[in-house]
Every structure is written in C-alpha cells, then in structure tokens.
Amino acid sequence: MASWKMKLASLVLAAFAATGASAQEVTLRFHQFLPPQGTVPSKAILPWAQRIEEASGGRIKVQLFSSMQLGGTPPQLFDQARDGVVDMVWTLQGYTPGRFPKTEVFELPFMAGLSAEQTSRALWDYVQKNAMDEYKDVHVLALHTHGPGLFHTKQPVTGLESLRGMKIRGGTRVVNSMLTKLGATPVGMPVPAVTEALSKGVLDGTTIPWEVAPALKVQELVKNHTTFAGDRALYVTTFVVAMNKAAYNRLPPDLRKVIDDHSGPEMGALFARTQDEGDVRGRALAEAAGNRIVALDAAETQRWKRTAAAVESEWIKDAQSKGIDGARLVSEARALIRQYEK
C-alpha cells in the first residue's frame, strides 16, 4: 500500500515538474542601434516581438533595447549576440568589414532592384545556399536589405563632377569603395553618428535610403537629394537579425517552435516591407520641407554605372584572393534578385 502511494506521489511530482517545464517563462533581450521611433524598430521589431509574446501565450517576453542602451557600439552587436551578452540583435553585416565577404555581393553598385522586399527574399535564398558559414556562430532569424540608397547632400549633386571632393558618409566597405570610385571622399561611420556629423560640418552629405532619413533628421540638415534612373538601386546594405545559439537551444521545444514559426524569409520580408513603406514616408517629408530632389536621367545614370563598375571587378578579384568564386556569386546574386522581380 505504501509502495503504491509512493509511486502515485512520484507520478504526480513528475507530472507537476513536466507542467512547470512546459510553462517555463523566458525573457529575451533584443539590442539594436537605432532610436525606438525609427522605421524598423517601431514598425518591424516591436510588432514582431509582440507576435512572439502572443504566440507563446506570454511565456516569451522580448525586452527591446534601442540606441545601444546596453552598451557597446553598433559594430559590436553581432559579437554581443554570439557571446551571449544579449539574446538577439539587429545589425548591419557591413559594420564589421571583411567578416561577411560572400554576403557583401548584395552591396555592389547597381546590383539590387528597387524593392527591399524582393531583394531580401533573394538574399535569404542566396545566403542559405552560399554563405551560411559566415553565420555559424549565431542562430539566424532573418536577413534583409533596405531600399535604394541615395545621396542626401548640402550642395546639390547633379552629376558625377559635382560629387567630386564631397565628404560623404558611407556605411560599409563596399559603399566606401564605390564613393571613392565616384570621386567623393568617403567617411565611414555607423548611421547613428550621421546627425551630429552633418550638423557639425564633418560631412557634406550622406548615403542612406529615404526610410532612415526622418529618424536622423537628415531632411532638416540637408536640402538636396539625388536619385537615379532605371530599375537598379545605386546600392543597398544588408542586415541580419541574429540570436545567441545557447539562448535558442535552451528554449523548450514548444518555444523554439514559436521562434521558428516567426523567423526565416517571411520575417526578413516583414522588415524589408517596412523599409519600402518608410522610403515613401521619408521622401514625402523631404518634399514637404521644400527640399530639392535631383533625378538623374538615364544617360547620366549610365555614366555612374560605368564608373562604379570597377567596384565589382575589384570585389571579384578580392574574393578570388580569399578562395571565393566571386564571379559565380555575383552572377548568382543577380539572377536571384531578378527572379524575385518577375
């Protein structure tokens, strides 16, 4: 009799323990570099975090930390996720030059199209096939790009000649190389530093998409914006949402499924759509401010393409020196982007 009661008690305890384990609550810290009112933080990261909390029945809490609140600099975000300093990050691969050489191909001049969502879907497929080794130290939740990058300058850029000598912020190694070829003086810095650099005269202008301009007050600090003809973007940069591997692996299976169900190519597409929509709002604000928007015609755009083509040639040569078939990756990236534009 006593033995039966003991067995029953142990079964009850085991059931209770199992229930407790399945009801485990987890808090995940999400760190990123822009202010909370920025397009991606407010219209992608926050809604995504809310969906995770809802889908988990409140068992996953996502704490959002903006503007590097937890310390460090934007180039350190990827390592913060890798090392478990935080659980999740949103960052640019280009903040750590040379670390993501295969992913860089998407940043080449006039590679991407005009839709961040379409380019981001191509980026996901491309990385899955060609570059997952660059992300082996983290659990990748999403990959995406922004919409077309353009020039925002104090003096108008109406052609190649007028850009020469201007101090222009470039966000990544590839973009800085492009600026050099086009005759500008590149100034590398993370995007949060742009506002102060423009206001203090450190910069004559910056390259960013329309979407991020309002959060940085760029349309207030410069009065000229230069766009390009055709269906190719001057450039885009790539982003990753990365999760610490141990933080992901220690989740109970049902909570891992919640994360899995809300990550991947559709998460990247969500982030990219917010940037496409943000481009429309950013341009509207510049127009409302009475700023000048210079639209280079097809002939002038072709001059820029010919001049910037050297960036791609050099990138392929540099990739080959690292044992990477750069020409194949360029061809594959271009084909994937076109595939999603059909």
Per-residue pLDDT of 106-150, as tens digits, reads 999 999 999 999 999 999 999 999 999 999 999 999 999 999 999
Asked if residue 152 lies in contact with residue 203, where contact means CB atoms within 8 angstroms, the answer is: no
* pLDDT over threshold 50, residue 318: yes
- Name the burial class of residue 9, with classes exposed (0-12), middle (13-18) and buried (19+) by CB atoms within 10 angstroms of its CB: exposed
CATH entry 1.10.760.10 includes domain 25-146+236-278: no
Nearest to 33 by CA among 298, 243, 239, 196: 239
Give 154's contacts (C-beta < 8 A, 6+ positions apart).
Answer: 198, 204, 205, 221, 222, 223, 224
Provide the phi-psi class of 128: left if phi over 0, else alpha when psi is between -120 and 50, else beta: alpha
| Number of residues that make up the chain | 342
What pLDDT, on a 0 to 100 scale, did the predictor assign at position 24? 85
Within the chain, which residue ranges are assigned CATH 3.40.190.170? Answer: 25-146+236-278, 149-235+290-341
- Specify the pairing of strand 238-243 against strand 88-92: antiparallel
User: What is the rounded CA–CA span in Å between residue 94 and residue 105?
Assistant: 11
Contact 69, 77 (CB under 8 A): no
Residue 7 has pLDDT above 50, yes or no: no
Q: What is the pLDDT of residues 264-312, one digit of tens each?
A: 999 999 999 999 999 999 999 999 999 999 999 999 999 999 999 999 9
Reply yes or no on whether the pLDDT at 210 is more than 80. Answer: yes
Closest of 99, 47, 38 to residue 68, by C-alpha = 38
Residue 216 is predicted with a pLDDT of 94
In CATH, 149-235+290-341 is 3.40.1160.10? no
Residue 240 pLDDT > 80, yes or no? yes
- pLDDT number for residue 1: 46
| Mean pLDDT computed over every residue of the chain | 94
**Rounded Cα distance, 263 and 241, in Å:** 9
Q: How far apart are CA 151 and CA 210, in angstroms?
A: 9
Helix residue ranges per DSSP H, 23-138: 39-40, 46-55, 77-83, 116-130
If we measure between CA atoms, which residue out of 29, 166, 11, 168 comes closest to residue 88? Answer: 29
Residue 57: which pLDDT band, with cuts at 50, 70 and 90? very high
- Quick check: 7 and 65 in contact, CB under 8 A? no
What is the mean pLDDT of the segment spanning 212-217? Answer: 94
Q: pTM score, two decimals?
A: 0.91
Tell me the pairing of strands 139-145 and 149-153. Answer: unpaired
% of the chain with per-residue pLDDT over 90 = 92
